[in-house]
Amino acid sequence: MVMVLLGITLSVFSGASVWAQSDQMKLDHPEAFGKKQRAPVPFPHNRHLEANLSCTDCHHRYEQGKNVLDEGDLEEGKTGIRCSECHDLKSRPRLREAFHDQCIGCHRKKSGPRLCGECHVKK
Protein backbone atom coordinates (compact mmCIF):
# COMPACT_ATOMS: atom_id res chain seq x y z
CA MET A 1 0.00 0.00 0.00
CA VAL A 2 2.80 2.41 0.91
CA MET A 3 4.56 1.68 -2.38
CA VAL A 4 1.37 2.38 -4.34
CA LEU A 5 0.91 5.74 -2.62
CA LEU A 6 4.57 6.59 -3.18
CA GLY A 7 4.26 5.72 -6.87
CA ILE A 8 1.15 7.87 -7.28
CA THR A 9 2.78 10.79 -5.47
CA LEU A 10 5.93 10.60 -7.60
CA SER A 11 3.96 10.41 -10.84
CA VAL A 12 1.82 13.41 -9.88
CA PHE A 13 4.82 15.58 -8.98
CA SER A 14 6.92 14.51 -11.95
CA GLY A 15 4.02 15.28 -14.31
CA ALA A 16 3.43 18.65 -12.68
CA SER A 17 7.05 19.65 -13.19
CA VAL A 18 6.73 19.00 -16.92
CA TRP A 19 3.79 21.43 -17.15
CA ALA A 20 5.07 24.05 -14.75
CA GLN A 21 6.78 27.17 -15.92
CA SER A 22 10.26 28.16 -14.82
CA ASP A 23 10.36 29.40 -11.25
CA GLN A 24 12.14 32.66 -12.07
CA MET A 25 11.02 34.55 -15.13
CA LYS A 26 11.58 38.16 -16.12
CA LEU A 27 8.76 40.21 -17.57
CA ASP A 28 10.74 42.21 -20.08
CA HIS A 29 9.35 42.84 -23.55
CA PRO A 30 11.12 45.81 -25.18
CA GLU A 31 9.28 45.20 -28.47
CA ALA A 32 5.96 45.87 -26.74
CA PHE A 33 6.98 48.45 -24.16
CA GLY A 34 9.27 50.67 -26.20
CA LYS A 35 11.37 52.99 -24.07
CA LYS A 36 10.95 51.78 -20.50
CA GLN A 37 10.76 54.11 -17.54
CA ARG A 38 11.12 51.29 -15.00
CA ALA A 39 13.17 48.11 -14.62
CA PRO A 40 11.82 44.75 -15.88
CA VAL A 41 9.83 42.73 -13.34
CA PRO A 42 11.26 39.52 -11.93
CA PHE A 43 8.39 37.05 -11.68
CA PRO A 44 8.65 34.22 -9.12
CA HIS A 45 6.21 31.67 -10.57
CA ASN A 46 6.50 29.25 -7.64
CA ARG A 47 5.68 31.95 -5.10
CA HIS A 48 2.38 32.48 -6.91
CA LEU A 49 1.68 28.73 -6.89
CA GLU A 50 2.47 28.59 -3.17
CA ALA A 51 -0.19 31.29 -2.64
CA ASN A 52 -2.80 28.68 -3.71
CA LEU A 53 -3.63 30.44 -6.95
CA SER A 54 -5.17 28.40 -9.72
CA CYS A 55 -3.40 28.48 -13.08
CA THR A 56 -6.52 30.11 -14.55
CA ASP A 57 -6.32 32.95 -12.03
CA CYS A 58 -3.57 34.36 -14.24
CA HIS A 59 -3.62 32.43 -17.52
CA HIS A 60 -6.68 32.77 -19.72
CA ARG A 61 -8.20 32.19 -23.11
CA TYR A 62 -11.56 33.92 -23.31
CA GLU A 63 -14.39 32.83 -25.56
CA GLN A 64 -17.74 34.59 -25.21
CA GLY A 65 -16.64 36.14 -21.92
CA LYS A 66 -15.67 32.82 -20.29
CA ASN A 67 -12.17 31.54 -19.55
CA VAL A 68 -12.03 28.27 -21.49
CA LEU A 69 -8.31 27.62 -21.02
CA ASP A 70 -7.40 23.98 -20.48
CA GLU A 71 -4.65 23.95 -17.84
CA GLY A 72 -3.10 21.04 -19.73
CA ASP A 73 -2.15 23.56 -22.44
CA LEU A 74 0.21 25.35 -20.04
CA GLU A 75 3.25 23.30 -20.93
CA GLU A 76 6.43 25.37 -21.02
CA GLY A 77 7.57 26.11 -24.54
CA LYS A 78 4.13 25.49 -26.03
CA THR A 79 2.87 28.24 -28.33
CA GLY A 80 -0.05 30.37 -27.25
CA ILE A 81 0.61 30.39 -23.50
CA ARG A 82 2.73 33.52 -23.14
CA CYS A 83 0.89 36.79 -22.54
CA SER A 84 2.82 38.47 -25.34
CA GLU A 85 1.47 36.04 -27.94
CA CYS A 86 -2.01 37.59 -27.74
CA HIS A 87 -1.34 40.94 -26.09
CA ASP A 88 0.83 43.00 -28.42
CA LEU A 89 0.96 46.58 -29.67
CA LYS A 90 -2.22 46.13 -31.73
CA SER A 91 -4.38 44.26 -29.21
CA ARG A 92 -6.61 45.63 -26.49
CA PRO A 93 -5.47 45.55 -23.82
CA ARG A 94 -1.88 45.89 -24.96
CA LEU A 95 0.75 43.83 -23.14
CA ARG A 96 1.73 46.52 -20.64
CA GLU A 97 -1.89 47.18 -19.69
CA ALA A 98 -2.64 43.45 -19.55
CA PHE A 99 0.23 42.89 -17.10
CA HIS A 100 -0.76 45.86 -14.98
CA ASP A 101 -4.48 44.99 -14.94
CA GLN A 102 -3.84 41.34 -14.10
CA CYS A 103 -1.01 41.74 -11.60
CA ILE A 104 -2.01 44.93 -9.81
CA GLY A 105 -5.66 43.88 -9.73
CA CYS A 106 -4.79 40.60 -8.03
CA HIS A 107 -2.30 42.19 -5.65
CA ARG A 108 -4.94 44.67 -4.52
CA LYS A 109 -7.56 41.94 -3.98
CA LYS A 110 -5.30 39.38 -2.32
CA SER A 111 -1.78 40.30 -1.28
CA GLY A 112 1.55 41.19 -2.75
CA PRO A 113 3.40 44.32 -3.78
CA ARG A 114 1.24 47.37 -4.34
CA LEU A 115 3.78 50.06 -5.23
CA CYS A 116 5.53 50.30 -8.62
CA GLY A 117 9.03 50.03 -7.15
CA GLU A 118 8.17 46.84 -5.31
CA CYS A 119 7.87 44.95 -8.61
CA HIS A 120 10.02 47.17 -10.82
CA VAL A 121 13.13 46.86 -8.65
CA LYS A 122 16.07 49.07 -9.63
CA LYS A 123 19.33 47.23 -10.25
CA distance 19 to 13: 10
| 3-state percent helix, strand, coil for the chain, nearest multiple of 5 | 45, 10, 45
Q: Indicate whether 3 pLDDT > 90.
A: no
Predicted confidence band at 21 (pLDDT cuts at 50, 70, 90)?
low
Q: What pLDDT sits at residue 36?
A: 84
Q: What pLDDT sits at residue 75?
A: 87
Q: Indicate whether 103 pLDDT > 90.
A: yes
| Residue extents of the structural domains in the chain | 22-119
Q: What's the CATH superfamily of 22-119?
A: Cytochrome C3 (3.90.10.10)
Q: Indicate whether 61 pLDDT > 70.
A: yes
Backbone φ and ψ of 62, nearest 5°: -90, 135
Residue-wise pLDDT for 29-54, tens only, equals 888 887 888 999 999 999 988 998 99
Q: Using the Cα atoms of residue 73, residue 85, residue 41 and residue 93 in order, give the sign of their dihedral.
A: negative
Do you find a cis peptide bond into 30, omega within 30 degrees of 0? no
Least confident of 23-27, 32-36, 60-64, 106-110: 32-36
Backbone φ and ψ of 70, nearest 5°: -90, 120
With contact defined as beta carbons under 8 Å apart, do 58 and 81 qualify? no
Q: What is the mean pLDDT of residues 17-34?
A: 73
Q: What is the largest CA-CA distance in the chain?
A: 59
For residue 64, is it left (φ>0), alpha (ψ between -120 and 50) or beta? left
82 compared with 123, residue with greater pLDDT: 82
Q: Which amino acid is at 36?
A: K
